[in-house]
Amino acid sequence: MLQSATKQTFDKKKRRSQDWFEDNDENIQSPLKDKKLNGDRTALRDKILRKFKNNWFQQKADEADRFAKEKNLKELYVTINAVSGPKPRNLHSMRAKNGVLFSSPEDIKERWVQYFEELLNQPMHGC
């Protein structure tokens, strides 16, 4: 119940950076299904997955280096941001009772005030 309420109230964070695992998914699936490696996860992690990860980061570094040498700053920053992702915002979206999504700090603050007023100002029973 708490998880469903959280999902209804908060919006899921969208991922904007590239991922070495997603880019190599097809190449990674075959070793994961290989019956010889199923018992030895350390060998799988150390030899295969680390190789894919290192190659992916090396490829991105080579792209960034090439763009820097060409003085193509736009593509350089696009490449850097694709790997590192944008700067995280400290503000998360929040839904109102009626389902409207709030994203401005003022609306979110007002919704929290409303929530805590409702939560804390309950009539006391039996006192």
Query: What was the pLDDT predicted at 82?
Result: 80
- Determine the Cα–Cα distance for residues 39 and 59; give it in Å rounded to an integer: 31
Instruction: Specify whether 20 is located in the same domain as 77.
Output: yes
- SS3 at position 12: coil
Instruction: Specify whether 38 is located in the same domain as 65.
Output: yes
Provide the number of structural domains found in the chain: 2
Confidence class of residue 38 from pLDDT cuts 50, 70 and 90? low
Instruction: Specify whether 21 is located in the same domain as 73.
Output: yes
Question: Around 62, how many Cα atoms within 13 Å sit in the side-chain half-sphere?
Answer: 6
Residue 8 lies in a domain: no
Instruction: Specify whether 64 is located in the same domain as 99.
Output: no
Instruction: Specify whether 63 is located in the same domain as 94.
Output: no
Instruction: Specify whether 43 is located in the same domain as 69.
Output: yes
Instruction: Specify whether 80 is located in the same domain as 123.
Output: no
Instruction: Specify whether 113 is located in the same domain as 51.
Output: no
**E strands within 17-110?**
94-95, 101-102
Instruction: For CA atoms 105, 109, 112, 118, give the dihedral sign.
Output: negative
Instruction: Specify whether 84 is located in the same domain as 22.
Output: yes
* The model's pTM: 0.44
Per-residue burial over 1-36, b if 16 or more Cβ lie within 10 Å, else e, is: eeeeeeeebeeeeeeeebebeeebeeebeebeeeee
Tens digit of pLDDT for each residue in 59-110?
989 999 999 999 999 999 888 888 887 666 666 788 888 888 888 888 888 9
Task: Residue 40: give the domain boundaries.
Answer: 16-88
